[in-house]
Amino acid sequence: MGHDINEYNLVLENIRPSETTKDTKDIHFQRNIIVSEEDLLLPKKLNAELFSLMVPEERKTYLYRALLATARSQRFIALATATESSSLRSSLRI
């Protein structure tokens, strides 16, 4: 998410930013994400018939993109998270 002052070797010791500084950088980064026009149009393109034809993974991706684009376009901070499903784990034989 940017540069680290320690990359420049200005002093012998590592400079460690405070948690507040890290949080501020994260918030600044999240607030400046540019939402594509395509993603902004996703909620308007949602068609129940088309949606029902999508496989579950496509539905999730579509909904996540639409929700993230809507929230971010309104200057909210939206973080996408993912979890590993048991079906994926079994198909990968983990």
19 CB-near residues (< 8 Å, 6+ apart): none
Distance CA 13, CA 30 (A): 30
pLDDT at position 87 over 80: no
Mean pLDDT lowest among 13-17, 56-60, 81-85, 89-93: 89-93
Q: Can you give the pLDDT at residue 30? A: 79
Contact status, residue 50 vs residue 77, Cβ threshold 8 Å: no
pLDDT category at 85 given cuts 50, 70, 90 is low
Q: Report whether pLDDT(1) > 60.
A: no
pLDDT, tens digit, 9 for 90 and up, residues 15-70: 887 888 888 888 888 788 888 888 888 877 777 667 777 788 888 888 888 888 88
CB atoms within 10 A of CB 62: 17
Predicted TM-score of the model (pTM): 0.51
37-45 and 56-73 helices, crossing angle to 10°: 120
Between 48 and 78, the more confident residue is 78
The CA distance from 66 to 72, in Å, is 10
Q: Is 9 left (phi over 0), alpha (psi -120 to 50) or beta?
A: left
